[in-house]
Structure 1
Amino acid sequence: MPSDTIPRRLFARAKERPEAPAYLVRESGSWKATPWRQYAAEVMRAGKALMAMGLEVGSTVSILGFNRPEWVILDVAAMAIGGAPAGVYSTSSAEELKYIVHHAESKVLLVENAQQLGKALKVWGELPLLAHVVLMRGTEASGDPRVLTWDDFLTRGAEVTDEAFFARLDAVEPGALATLIYTSGTTGPPKGVMLSHRNLTWTADVARRLIDLTPWDCSLSYLPLSHIAEQVFTIHGPITAGSSVYFAESIEKMAENLREVQPTIFFGVPRVWEKLHAGVSAKLGEAKGLKRAIAAQAMAAGRAYHDVLNRDEIPNPLLTVKHRLFERLVYGKVKQAVGFGRARVCVSGAAPIGVEVLDFFAGLDLPIREVYGQSEDTGPTSFNLPGRSRFGSVGPAFPGLDVRIAEDGEIQVKGPNVFLGYYKDPEGTAETLLEGWLCTGDLGKFDQDGFLHITGRKKDIIITAGGKNITPQNIEVGLKRHPLVAEAVVIGDRRRYLTAIIVLNPEAAQQLATERGLSGPLHENPEIRREVQRAVDEVNAQFAQVETVKRFTIASRSFGIDTGELTPTLKVKRRNVVENFAREIDAMYAE
């Protein structure tokens, strides 16, 4: 009997519901659906093409580009023939692309467009194993015989029989390498996380049960597919449940596409939710008189209603009546306007999210379920479930996993979703996998009800000149609760006291400037600085003297991916912030 794998499940969906929509792409002003039958056929054609091009069991392909059907088709095709895909973030430089393609030893690279092709051409001379670059649909051939259009690529497999393809698919072992997820490089060069077919299917099965994912659900694919979380929501989960995926046109058009699609399932990193929070909050702030009073009552009722549901209790009749009333007056209108008119599961992950953001959306009848995990355990370690959620925590342990806190406070995980190890890195694997336990590098604690709370990163611990160990994350999360603060990085390793680099929330800062008639660069404005100082003072009051921020600098610009302070998934690269703002940091410690 053939092994249970994600590619095998795709062909099962094609038999069960051949004409049902598998994925949708916006073309000529409308969303065009591709059925499961055609999706499976495209994967088979791509798999046969790879076989014809000499990809053996264990070979890899690399993929560079925004979320597109071709991205997913090649990903699943590579797995189907016993190979492994390796995604590359679309924001990567030519050098970063070279590193991953070389490290993964890929013979084939799929790129989205001419711009991404340019990166490949720039470094191809240093990639002796790379034989072909394939272009996604819509990009003309370059004239280089090594560069293939998508259609040219698919025709390469014309001589490979269906039987040969299915023989490779049937031979895939559940414990074999299925995909390489390259880490975003917050602590050094990216590492290739090796995930098995069993890792993927087990995680998809449990996730489907937890959120009751069905063929009638749909999601919007827009976050980087190089990240395991987006792969779960775009590839493994939908293939397992038979649900539909809409591919966003671009990250810039995500908000517009969200309003059009009205997905039932939505995953966002904290920055996405924070931007939505800022936009909706500003709109609600424009309400006057009776409308303002109704909105305030609605949000209070929404928070109370979901607080009860999160404890798996039944709201009292009065609260239920209020909820139904405000659904007609407020919730339904706001959700529809943003793109959540049909949303039933909203998830946040990849980085910590502020409690006030979760509280805000619960007040609008949009409870956000925070998930915590890492690439090394296929995405989830813990999850705030419907009926078992607690804001400020990252939920109870994911069902089927053993999660423990080591003596030094590190979160450790054991279970069917823990990875095989790091690709070509036995030393790194040995440091991270101890007797089957994944050492996450995160610090945490369980409360008395079994909810996991993240308290920091082992490698981010600041040791002051006085020898005090301080976890900066708690301070930074506190600072980011203020509407003016978009990012905060606490400094102080081997220093006498703590300081912080503050990045302003541009929308909130501009709104304040407009209201008060402020002029000039906002980061230099004394009134803006006084507001930030108040935020710092409020946070300082919650900590011991040695943990207080003595000085801060408001950055003259936002952190960026291109400037090196953010990973493609918008995590802060602390080391790069320290390097890029060294002059400002030194000034805060100058006598």
Structure 2
Amino acid sequence: MMPSGYELKKYTLPQVLRMRAEQTPGRVAIRKKDFGIWNEITYADYYRHVTNFAAGLLSLGFQPGERLAVIADNIPEWLYAELAAQSLGGISVGVYQSSLPPEIAYVLSYTGAAFVVAEDQEQVDKLLEIRSEIPSVRKVIYQDPRGMRVYADDPWIMGFEAVEKLGEAYLKQHPRAVEERIALGKPEDVCHLSLTSGTTGRPKAAMLMHRNLLHMGVALQEVDPLEPTDDYLSFLPFAWIGEQMMSVGMALAGGFAVNMPESVETAMSDLKEIGPHVMFSPPRVWEGTQSQIWVRISETYAFNRWVYQQMLKIGYRAADYRMHGKPMPLGLRLAYWFADQIMFKPLRDQLGFLRLRRAYTGGAALGPDVFRFYHAIGVNLKQIYGQTEIIGIAFVHRDGDVRADTVGVPIPGGEVKISERGEILCRSDAVVAGYWQNPEATAETFADGWLHTGDAGYLTPEGHLVVIDRVSDVMHTSTQQMFSPQFIENKLKFSPYIKEAVVFGDQKPYLTAFINVDPQTVGKWAEDNRIAYTTYIDLSQKPQVAELIRREVRAVNDGLPEHLRIKRFVLLYKLLDADDDELTRTGKVRRKFIVQRYQPLVDALYSQTSKVQVDTEFKYQDGTVQKVSTEVSVLEADSSKELIGA
């Protein structure tokens, strides 16, 4: 019988997988869609692949404590390789599949990876480009054989299936070799290295222990129980801590099925086919889905738009009761039942949310209007707060206690306190062992038995946590008035027309901002208003778009004290991009780098100029470079103060 609750923390991840394979061998553990077909992998299959690959690694000389890195989309082989390395006392390393060769070289050199599993030719080519920079890598193992024939004579490269076949042969001679290694594992062993965001410098690798992931899998399910028959859609990168938490820790602890889409591009359509019971996505996914709904509704007939608005009003009233755990009046219950039957239920069905019992969002603030919208249509969306160093979630909303301005209360087994300087400190069995080969940062971040999150915040009288910003990012104007740029950025991004915002003002007389318009919603708005445009550059510099965003900025300013209001802003001519080092791989702003890259625009925000000539280059995936020259307007939030002809 499977151990229950916190008894699971006495085991390692491979030991839990082995127990599931022994006790529920026929239950579906993983589904992967290929060529339009969902292929099912049972726990028995899962464990067999793990042990075969582990035995193959043994035959190739993999040693306890060595690191195996994986660069791939969400494929079963990622999990096989990760659990196989852990089965042998090794450590897996997650690398974002979108990483550029220099980023990969840093991660592999920093962690000293001995083996790398690369999904396809694209990833193998990246490794070949940096081969001389990663001398620790003894073997590259590809999963997808397409295009790999040209590398057949290179002993550095071999196929995933070939490793499994080596393992099968090895197990015939040493049938208990992997089982014996699995039995030696301890819950305190470091099993995985997960990279931090790296907003202020090079990412650090957090050392995850088996008990960290299993604690999270058990503790979160005390709050929101999941059934072994439930489905989860895994479409965010496995290198991200949130996906490790869900697809490894929670999935093994709870026994539910992890469903992997055919590709990143088909994830949302595949979601409709699976109809998951639980989802975990960053705000951009929820905001993007709401924007798609908004676009679709705006394109329909006037009567349909009127019905939608009337039903949504009922939904919002019901959401206010539901989010605060209050019983709805009989009249509102009946009205909401009617609205649910004729509109919300079909809408959830089209989105793939019909079976969704609960959903989580984290990594950044989600606007209160977005929260109310999803609860209005019947989606139980909750905010979470956590970070890599505490396995993704430390705080979460409870059913009937969802507040858009907080991130909830600690999960079971977690403790929190606020330091004298306002920093959030956390403690639980989910806190990792430290940073790989970085004792100084480990001593600083994990001092006195507490995780020093680096975030500023406070607790409400009800025990909810409110996160303000990174402690290091809290700034002061030239008159020494304190402000949080992230707080204002989030308020700006609550607008459906604003995709990204970067606020400036440290030691300056007033606050300014760079703004990325949302190409989907602003593009649709432009079409509806018969405004022709060609490229994103053209769209972002339209005078009508400037007025649209000015109204959005003024609306935010109206809710802020005078010293926190945006005075001037620029509509940036390109979307901020992780490939250009402007964002982290998890979508967080690299503020200092952006200031350096766009220094002329930052200077213009604090001068009397109203126009800036910009010469820039766009690099495409095929390596081509296009040079572009454009004129960027510096805009006043108050149009009456616009500098004409300055």
What band does the TM-score fall into relative to the shorter chain?
A: over 0.9
Aligned match of 2:386: 373
Q: Describe the shift of the 1:28–1:50 C-alpha distance in structure 2 as closer, same or farther (beyond 3 A).
A: same
Q: More deviation in 433-442 or 5-14?
A: 5-14
Deviation at 1:162, TM superposition (A): 3.6
Q: More deviation in 168-177 or 475-484?
A: 475-484
Q: Does 1:575 align with 2:592?
A: yes
List aligned pairs for 1:90-109, cutoff 5 A: 90-109=97-116
Match of 1:134 among 119, 130, 141: 141
- CA-to-partner distance for each residue in 1:91-142, whole Å, 9 max, x for gaps? 1111111111111111100001101101111112122211000001344352
Q: Does 1:517 align with 2:524?
A: no
Match of 2:448 among 417, 420, 435: 435
Match of 1:153 among 141, 163, 178: 163
List aligned pairs for 1:228-239, cutoff 5 A: 228-239=241-252
Determine the C-alpha separation between the residues in 1 that align with 2:434 and 2:27.
37
- Stretches of 4+ moved more than 6 A in 1? none
Q: More deviation in 91-100 or 136-145?
A: 136-145
Is contact 2:28-2:43 (8 Å) kept? Answer: yes
Determine the C-alpha separation between the residues in 2 that align with 1:381 and 1:27.
35
Aligned match of 2:507: 494
Q: Does 1:203 align with 2:203?
A: no
SS of 1:566's equivalent in the other structure is coil
- CA-to-partner distance for each residue in 1:354-386, whole Å, 9 max, x for gaps? 111111111111121111100000111100122
Is contact 1:414-1:437 (8 Å) kept? Answer: yes
- CA-to-partner distance for each residue in 1:423-480, whole Å, 9 max, x for gaps? 1000001111111111111111111211111111112122333333211122112212
Is contact 1:298-1:363 (8 Å) kept? Answer: no
Q: More deviation in 535-544 or 226-235?
A: 535-544
- CA-to-partner distance for each residue in 1:402-421, whole Å, 9 max, x for gaps? 11111111111011111111
Determine the C-alpha separation between the residues in 2 that align with 1:350 and 1:42.
33
Deviation at 1:300, TM superposition (A): 2.8
Aligned match of 2:293: 280
Q: Does 1:387 align with 2:364?
A: no
Q: Describe the shift of the 1:214–1:177 C-alpha distance in structure 2 as closer, same or farther (beyond 3 A).
A: same
Is contact 2:217-2:246 (8 Å) kept? Answer: no
Q: Does 1:23 align with 2:30?
A: yes
Deviation at 1:248, TM superposition (A): 1.2
Deviation at 1:19, TM superposition (A): 1.4
Question: What code does the residue aligned with 2:144 have?
Answer: R
- CA-to-partner distance for each residue in 1:255-284, whole Å, 9 max, x for gaps? 211122211111111111111010012223
Determine the C-alpha separation between the residues in 2 that align with 1:138 and 1:341.
37
Is contact 1:381-1:403 (8 Å) kept? Answer: no
Question: What code does the residue aligned with 1:267 have?
Answer: F
Deviation at 1:293, TM superposition (A): 3.9
Any unmatched runs of 5+ in structure 2? 1-6, 609-646
List aligned pairs for 1:326-337, cutoff 5 A: 326-337=339-350
Determine the C-alpha separation between the residues in 1 that align with 2:267 and 2:404.
26
Determine the C-alpha separation between the residues in 2 that align with 1:117 and 1:303.
50
SS of 1:390's equivalent in the other structure is coil
Q: More deviation in 316-325 or 281-290?
A: 281-290
Aligned match of 1:557: 574
Aligned match of 1:120: 127
Determine the C-alpha separation between the residues in 2 that align with 1:219 and 1:162.
34
Aligned match of 2:550: 533
Aligned match of 2:611: none
Q: Describe the shift of the 1:154–1:307 C-alpha distance in structure 2 as closer, same or farther (beyond 3 A).
A: same
SS of 2:246's equivalent in the other structure is helix
SS of 2:410's equivalent in the other structure is coil
Is contact 1:271-1:570 (8 Å) kept? Answer: no
TM-score (norm 1): 0.96
Q: Describe the shift of the 1:327–1:145 C-alpha distance in structure 2 as closer, same or farther (beyond 3 A).
A: same
Deviation at 1:291, TM superposition (A): 3.5
Match of 1:480 among 488, 493, 496: 493
List aligned pairs for 1:241-260, cutoff 5 A: 241-260=254-273
Is contact 1:203-1:378 (8 Å) kept? Answer: yes
Aligned match of 2:644: none
Aligned match of 2:70: 63
Q: Does 1:412 align with 2:429?
A: no
Match of 2:461 among 433, 442, 448: 448
SS of 1:421's equivalent in the other structure is coil
Is contact 2:213-2:248 (8 Å) kept? Answer: no
Is contact 1:358-1:367 (8 Å) kept? Answer: no
Determine the C-alpha separation between the residues in 2 that align with 1:385 and 1:54.
48
Aligned match of 2:603: 586
Deviation at 1:288, TM superposition (A): 4.3
Determine the C-alpha separation between the residues in 2 that align with 1:14 and 1:322.
48
Deviation at 1:21, TM superposition (A): 1.3
Match of 2:370 among 354, 357, 362: 357
Q: More deviation in 24-33 or 434-443?
A: 24-33
Q: More deviation in 329-338 or 7-16?
A: 7-16
Question: What code does the residue aligned with 1:395 have?
Answer: G
Deviation at 1:287, TM superposition (A): 4.6
Determine the C-alpha separation between the residues in 1 that align with 2:319 and 2:529.
36
Aligned match of 1:267: 280
Determine the C-alpha separation between the residues in 2 that align with 1:103 and 1:45.
28
Question: What code does the residue aligned with 1:569 have?
Answer: T
Is contact 2:67-2:93 (8 Å) kept? Answer: yes
SS of 1:435's equivalent in the other structure is helix
Match of 1:111 among 110, 115, 118: 118
Aligned match of 2:20: 13
Determine the C-alpha separation between the residues in 1 that align with 2:335 and 2:81.
50
Is contact 2:213-2:250 (8 Å) kept? Answer: no
Q: Describe the shift of the 1:246–1:407 C-alpha distance in structure 2 as closer, same or farther (beyond 3 A).
A: same
Aligned match of 1:34: 41
Q: Describe the shift of the 1:6–1:322 C-alpha distance in structure 2 as closer, same or farther (beyond 3 A).
A: farther
Is contact 2:319-2:372 (8 Å) kept? Answer: no
Deviation at 1:290, TM superposition (A): 4.9
Match of 1:87 among 88, 94, 108: 94
Is contact 2:196-2:204 (8 Å) kept? Answer: yes
Deviation at 1:341, TM superposition (A): 1.8
Aligned match of 2:641: none
Determine the C-alpha separation between the residues in 1 that align with 2:270 and 2:216.
28
Determine the C-alpha separation between the residues in 2 that align with 1:146 and 1:236.
32
- CA-to-partner distance for each residue in 1:17-64, whole Å, 9 max, x for gaps? 211211111233221111111011101111112222222222111011
Q: More deviation in 300-309 or 387-396?
A: 300-309
